[in-house]
């Protein structure tokens, strides 16, 4: 779940991509989601991957709760059991309950930690107890996280497990 994605990107030539837009046609540009998809299924990575992509981030850089809920419902109906969410924001009760229900149905949610630093309050959906926190090293040309970063960003405040997440650093 992220911005729009360019399925014709050369790095994704070996992947099958099923995509759906939940923004009403106002999805943000394709750079970020395309870069993340390339990190997952690009050359030398997962071969013959089938990625499900849900565009929920609008051109203004925000994602509505209803768009996120429709996206997670579509992914669930499609049989997806591992969902990466490339966004972070303040607590939302509807998102909490909806994503908890998805987790109860067997969906693992890996969510971005946010970019607000170690003293920031928890960001969601990564802050939910049932979510896995995806972290990345915030350096140019750096794509995979390190366990020590969890402490630097205050992940001790976050209830779910910590995973290293593919990240398109510097791409929006």
Q: Any idea how long the chain is?
A: 172
Q: Residue 168 has what pLDDT?
A: 45
pLDDT of residue 134: 63
Structure tokens at 94: 């509807």
- What pLDDT shows up at residue 30? 92
- Tokens 């709760």 sit at which residue? 65
What letters, b where the CB count within 10 A reaches 16 and e where it falls short, cover 27-37?
Answer: bbebbbbbbbb
List the structure tokens of 25: 């046609």
pLDDT for 163 equals 44
Supply the pLDDT for residue 70.
Answer: 97
Q: Say if CB 11 and CB 171 are below 8 A apart.
A: no
pTM: 0.77
Burial of 53 (0-12, 13-18, 19+ CB in 10 A): buried
What digits encode the pLDDT tens for the residues 111-146? 887 777 767 788 888 888 887 766 554 444 443 334
User: Which residues of the chain fall short of a pLDDT of 50?
Assistant: 137-172
DSSP 11: G
pLDDT at position 140: 44
């Amino acid at each position: 779940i992220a911005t729009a994605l360019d399925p014709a990107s050369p790095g994704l030539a070996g992947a099958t991509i099923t995509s759906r837009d939940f923004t009403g046609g106002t999805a943000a540009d394709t750079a970020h989601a395309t870069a993340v998809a390339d990190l997952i299924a690009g050359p030398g990575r997962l071969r013959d991957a089938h990625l499900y992509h849900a565009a929920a981030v609008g051109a203004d850089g925000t994602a509505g709760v209803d768009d996120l809920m429709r996206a997670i419902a579509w992914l669930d109906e499609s049989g997806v059991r591992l969902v990466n969410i490339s966004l972070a924001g303040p607590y939302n009760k509807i998102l909490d309950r909806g994503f908890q229900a998805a987790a109860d149905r067997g969906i693992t949610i890996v969510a971005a930690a946010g970019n607000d630093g170690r003293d920031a309050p928890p960001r969601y959906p990564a802050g939910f107890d049932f979510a896995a926190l995806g972290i990345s090293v915030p350096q140019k040309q750096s794509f995979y996280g390190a366990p020590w970063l969890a402490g630097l960003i205050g992940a001790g405040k976050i209830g779910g497990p910590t995973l290293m997440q593919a990240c398109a650093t510097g791409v929006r």
